[in-house]
């Protein structure tokens, strides 16, 4: 059996491409000046509050909460895509144990942390923007959430595969 079958290779390419798209999106937002960034977040803030109004919620979501959730969401996606790529690249399914899987996902957390730091430093060059440690911490939190979601999905997937294999061998 080869290291990469076609399905595995396609999944790896897709996950790396999506991770790259996330990084480009994240960095492009950091390169916007203060006015552009504020306008973009205000648009999202208004959209979120329109949705909450339509759902019948009386209290509006704060602008700060929307911005914080945006940091968490974009890095959670990055964490999921990098975790998938690493799982495919490091053949996590061949050496399955929860501890080994977690250890193999550490590079995803390291890459996401590096992206968060670079992301904040990019704001030095944007007029009306400044890097903030709190934003970097939110980014890392988002990445850890994404990596955890991937890990949980992986554990469930492996349990289903093991059950299916056990059922097939028992009926044979």
Query: 5-38, pLDDT tens digit by residue?
Result: 888 899 999 999 999 999 999 999 999 998 999 8
- The whole-number pLDDT of residue 91 equals 73
- The whole-number pLDDT of residue 4 equals 64
How far is it, in rounded angstroms, from Cα 9 to Cα 94? 16
169 band by pLDDT with thresholds 50, 70 and 90: confident
How far is it, in rounded angstroms, from Cα 15 to Cα 7? 12
Q: Flag whether pLDDT at 172 surpasses 70.
A: no
Tell me if 73 sits within 8 A of 145, measured CB to CB. no
Tell me if 151 sits within 8 A of 82, measured CB to CB. no
Global pTM value? 0.86
- The whole-number pLDDT of residue 1 equals 45
Provide the b/e sequence for 79-115 (b: ≥16 CB within 10 Å). bbbbbbbbbbbbebeeeeeeeebeebbeebbebbbeb
Q: Which helix (H) or strand (E) covers residue 94, if one does?
A: none
Query: 52-72, pLDDT tens digit by residue?
Result: 989 888 777 898 999 999 999
Tokens coding 11: 């999944």
């Amino acid at each position: 059996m080869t290291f990469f079958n076609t399905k595995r290779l396609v999944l790896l390419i897709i996950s790396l491409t999506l991770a790259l798209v996330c990084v480009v999106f994240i960095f492009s937002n950091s390169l916007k000046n203060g006015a552009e960034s504020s306008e973009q977040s205000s648009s999202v803030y208004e959209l979120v509050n329109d949705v909450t109004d339509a759902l019948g919620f009386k209290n509006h979501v704060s602008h700060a909460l929307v911005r914080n959730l945006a940091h968490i969401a974009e890095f959670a996606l990055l964490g999921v895509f990098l975790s998938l790529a690493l799982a495919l690249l490091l053949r996590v399914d061949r050496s399955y144990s929860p501890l080994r899987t977690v250890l193999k996902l550490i590079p995803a957390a390291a890459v996401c942390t590096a992206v968060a730091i670079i992301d904040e430093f990019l704001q030095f060059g944007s007029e009306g923007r400044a890097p903030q440690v709190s934003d970097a911490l939110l980014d890392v939190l988002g990445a850890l959430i994404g990596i955890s979601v991937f890990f949980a999905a992986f554990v469930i997937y492996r349990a289903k595969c093991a059950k299916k294999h056990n059922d097939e061998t028992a009926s044979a």
